[in-house]
Amino acid sequence: MSEGCPFRQPDHAANHATMTSPTGCPVSRDAAAFDPFGASYQLDPAEALRWSREQEPVFFSPKLGYWVVSRYEEVKTVFRDNLTFSPAIALEKLTPAPPEAAKILESYGFAMRRTMVNEDEPDHMERRRLLMDAFLPENLEKHEAWVRELVRSYMDHFIDKGRADLVEEMFREIPMTVALRFLGVPSEDAKELRKFSVAHTLNTWGRPSPEQQLKIAEDVGQFWKTAQAILDRMREEPTGEGWMYDSIRMHNQHPDVVPESYLRSMMMAILVAAHETTAFATSNAFRILLSNRASWNDICDNPTLIPSAIEECLRAAGSVVAWRRIATEDADVGGVTIPKGGKLLLVQASANRDPRHFENPDEFDIYRHNSAEHFTFGYGAHQCMGKNIARMEMRIILDEFVRRLPHIHLVENQAFEYLPNTSFRGPTSLWVEWDPEQNPERRNRGVLDNPTHFHIGAPIKEDIVRRVLVTEVEREAEDVIRIDLADPYGRELPDWSPGSHIELVSGEWRRYYSLCGKRNDRHRLSIAILREPEGRGGSLHFHDTVKPGDILHIAGPKNHFHLDETAERYTLIAGGIGITPILTMADQLKALGKPYTLHYCGAGRRTMAFLERAERDHSEALTVHASDEGCRLDISIALSNVAKGDQVYCCGPERMLEALELLAQNWPEGILHVEHFSARSNILDPEQEHAFEVVLTDSNVTLQVGNDQTLLEVLTAFGVDVPSDCCEGLCGTCEVAVVEGDIDHRDLVLSRAERAASDRMMACCSRAEGGRLVLAL
């Protein structure tokens, strides 16, 4: 154990008992062995911490002298509270510099201040607010055209060569050029600055040798000097365009908030923040996409998938894999007490693979609906200000490649090397090759026309759709058809769990349908559709137009109607077409050997889909309630024996669910689970609504929600990436935590008790009862 072991500190002796890991030992064997500079962490940090995610999500690493946090919820807890967990050490050198390096820096008058990412409140937020404008989505659009030109010019250099190291020839260069342009640094000066672009990763998060430290100190000193000269020139240009000019103007207006000394530090910090992060992220994205050829082919076929593909790359292979905080007081994280002064390493790469938050986290799935909830950009008040610039660059680069070089592939058997460090991850080279004869533009220059225009911000959910082939359309009962879907190339479809649904997309039509096939069949997804002449038209469209051989699109599978497999007994109730999710639950319970009863209600046997299958597979558990046979379901009798430890799942028409919810009023929480087919009302009528204010505590901002806006719209426009799905209050995807204020709940997701607790709401439909809500966002 190192000298810095907190369990040996006398002033924390009293805490010793509470500072044990869940294994009972203050520092478990795995924790003692954890080495962030060892081969396994360097190779794949998320994999290296699998044991920790599973057994010990918060542990002390004697080798590093840090508390390591590896699970999603715990990482979020720390990120969101930047008062208890200060970012002050975010840029602290892990390997202290030798005294000679300090002397070199001194000779340049180097006086770097804390800048944004490692600043404490209230200074940090005051500055962030003043300097945020240029980063807002509406102000970034203007950069798109020149970023694309830049990308094209870099590609022109190697497009006919047939082989390139993309890191060397492009990915390292573009983020630097974009950052300099974003700052407004004139191009002549940019050349100067580029010379001293420092090896920041190694310097801050690595184990540089004393010689390397001296070289870095020299470069940093030169950079510092040059930056001052550039700033002096920029100051003479009062109307100059770029973020550095904005900062100078802010300095003139608010010298107390943006002081003189801050400007130079900021210029340096932003280049560091923008450069290696984005270069590595792009290299990682290309590596993982080209290694998953099916995903690469899909984005070549449909470039509107690029934003969601990039988000999945950032989740599965992000460039910032671990970030740091320091505890300002004794604090609890995941049941472990972190002592005041304890340093924390938040391993985002590990949190991004936490199965508690991401389904099948080890699968690389560019259609994943919640990839954008990764922590690669951090979270909360310090969340990356430049995330939408990075996204824009990466999207444009990828868009140009899928048009101009869709046939590139990774050079086989190349060794990927990574700079040994705790936090930044990306290969030092990435060799690709292709046959220039096959370059599409040799045959058709038109590939350069009509590039994809990406909206700025998190991916749009409507774009995250997968192509599927209709393999069969069968009549299952009166007015009910079953549609079977497969991957057009015969590849496996994603795994799903009982209760899951997909969204079926055809032209303007988008409708949700539960999956009803066999779960272990990875080559087929089945849904059943009831023809509803009184409905909104979707079911008629699908009934009348879909035929085998058609190509449709789907979003999902997703599951908002999870089966809790730990209960003792189950009652399943299906009304009409509500049999679809219920049948998959019955299949699962049977496979698990759990006791269950299944009530299936319908107008008559001829209208009841999958009746034969239910009778065949679940005969002992099944009771059929066909109204035309005079045996309607009496819910109160069917559920008279419900006891603690039971679970009841029901899907059916609204009146059935209402009766059930009434009956269950006095049941303990957590017994009843229902799935609604449709929202009660999702139309926003500005005449009936009032505007309100939302305070976001984690981000430290206040926003106004107009009477004609939803809370979700306002959050998204500000760049807060709240995921959403149904936008009708049905699915629970857009849930946000509420700290204060009365909520006007309008969803069909939360139970009575959850509503009464007033600590969460659905941002797509629910509103403030009064004039103000405080959200933990």
For residue 335, count other CB atoms closer than 10 A to its CB: 12
- In the complex, what is the shortest distance from the CB of residue 328 to ligand HEM, in angstroms, rounded to a whole number? 15
Alpha carbons 394 and 189: distance in angstroms, whole number: 25
Site string for ligand HEM, 67-106 (x = CB under 6 A): ------------x-------x-------------------
316 near ligand HEM, rule: CB under 6 A: no
Amino acid at 551: I
458 near ligand FES, rule: CB under 6 A: no
- In the complex, what is the shortest distance from the CB of residue 114 to ligand HEM, in angstroms, rounded to a whole number? 10
Residue entry with tokens 């549609």: 483
711 near ligand FES, rule: CB under 6 A: no
484 near ligand FES, rule: CB under 6 A: no
Q: Are 679 and 668 in contact (CB under 8 A)?
A: no
Among ligand FES, ligand HEM, none, the one that 762 touches (CB under a kind-dependent 5 to 8 A) is ligand FES
CA atoms within 13 A of residue 595's CA, in its CB half-sphere: 5
388 near ligand HEM, rule: CB under 6 A: no
Among 167, 579, 614, 731, binds ligand FES (CB under 6 A): 731
Among 126, 406, 732, 751, binds ligand FES (CB under 6 A): 732
Among ligand FES, ligand HEM, none, the one that 751 touches (CB under a kind-dependent 5 to 8 A) is none
Alpha carbons 775 and 471: distance in angstroms, whole number: 46
Distances in Å between the alpha carbon of 764 and those of 374, 513, 560, 774? 21, 20, 16, 16
Among ligand FES, ligand HEM, none, the one that 764 touches (CB under a kind-dependent 5 to 8 A) is ligand FES
Amino acid at 450: N
Q: Are 31 and 21 in contact (CB under 8 A)?
A: yes
- Window of 79-87, 631-639, 701-709, 721-729 that interacts with ligand FES by CB under 6 A: 721-729
Among 27, 155, 385, 574, binds ligand HEM (CB under 6 A): 385
Among 185, 542, 733, 768, binds ligand FES (CB under 6 A): 733
Nearer to ligand HEM, 92 or 612 (CB): 92
Relative to beta strand 772-775, strand 735-740 is: antiparallel
Name the β-bridge partners of 774.
Answer: 695, 740
Q: What are phi and psi of 149, to 5 degrees?
A: -60, -45
- In the complex, what is the shortest distance from the CB of residue 113 to ligand FES, in angstroms, rounded to a whole number? 42
Name the β-bridge partners of 309.
Answer: none
Site for ligand HEM in 106-135 (CB under 6 A): 116-117, 128
Site for ligand FES in 737-756 (CB under 6 A): 747, 749
Gyration radius from the chain CA atoms: 28
Q: Which residues contact 173 (CB under 8 A, 6 or more apart)?
A: 154
Nearer to ligand HEM, 116 or 730 (CB): 116
216 near ligand FES, rule: CB under 6 A: no
Amino acid at 308: S
Site for ligand HEM in 343-362 (CB under 6 A): none
- Window of 70-78, 192-200, 373-381, 593-601 that interacts with ligand HEM by CB under 6 A: 373-381
Q: Are 174 and 154 in contact (CB under 8 A)?
A: yes
For residue 40, count other CB atoms closer than 10 A to its CB: 14
Q: What are phi and psi of 342, to 5 degrees?
A: -65, 135
Residue count, binding to ligand HEM (CB under 6 A): 29
Write the DSSP symbol of residue 494: P
For residue 446, count other CB atoms closer than 10 A to its CB: 10
- In the complex, what is the shortest distance from the CB of residue 565 to ligand FES, in angstroms, rounded to a whole number? 24
Among 764, 768, 773, 776, binds ligand FES (CB under 6 A): 764
Query: Comparing C-alpha atoms, which of 586, 481, 484, 472 is closest to residue 526?
Result: 484
Binding site for ligand HEM (CB under 6 A): 79, 87, 116-117, 128, 179, 182, 270, 273-274, 277-278, 281, 318-320, 323, 376-380, 382-386, 389-390
Residues at the interface with ligand FES (CB under 6 A): 724-727, 729-734, 747, 749, 762, 764
